[in-house]
């Protein structure tokens, strides 16, 4: 999605991030399993569903295991449910 935490904070501050359909303008937001995060990136829109949370920061591969791409249904965690377009 983005390479650094500061890039993610800048996206949120600029209003390019939505959490469950609501615009996020602060860098720090609590997310829960099942939440849908939408990000307007340079040339695309990324929509992911949270499938897990962790208590502290980890590696990029560990982070990728915590969400599923809603648009393609792909992700590193298996999920029995199909995502419906929001």
pLDDT of residue 73: 57
How far apart CA 42 and CA 47 sit, in angstroms, is 14
pLDDT of residue 72: 64
Residue 86: inside a domain:
no
Name the pTM for this structure. Answer: 0.76
Q: Which residues contact 74 (CB under 8 A, 6 or more apart)?
A: 68
Count of domains in the chain?
1
Residue 45: inside a domain:
yes
Residue 64: inside a domain:
yes
| Exposed e or buried b per residue across 63-82, where buried means at least 16 C-beta atoms within 10 angstroms of its C-beta | eebbbbebeeeebeeeeeee
Q: Where are the alpha helices (DSSP H) in 14-83?
A: 60-64
Residue 31: inside a domain:
yes
pLDDT along the chain (86 residues), means of 10: 90 95 91 95 93 89 92 52 41
pLDDT of residue 81: 41
Q: What is the domain range of residue 46?
A: 5-69
Q: Which residues contact 43 (CB under 8 A, 6 or more apart)?
A: none
Q: Residue 59 maps to which CATH number? A: 3.10.290.10
């Amino acid at each position: 999605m983005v390479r650094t935490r500061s890039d993610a904070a800048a996206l949120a501050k600029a209003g390019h991030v939505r959490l469950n359909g609501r615009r996020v303008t602060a860098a720090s937001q609590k997310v829960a399993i099942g939440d849908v995060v939408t990000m307007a990136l340079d040339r695309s829109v990324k929509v992911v569903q949270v499938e897990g949370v962790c208590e502290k920061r980890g590696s990029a591969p560990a982070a990728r295991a915590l969400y599923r791409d809603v648009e393609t249904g792909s992700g590193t965690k298996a999920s029995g449910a199909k995502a419906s377009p929001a």
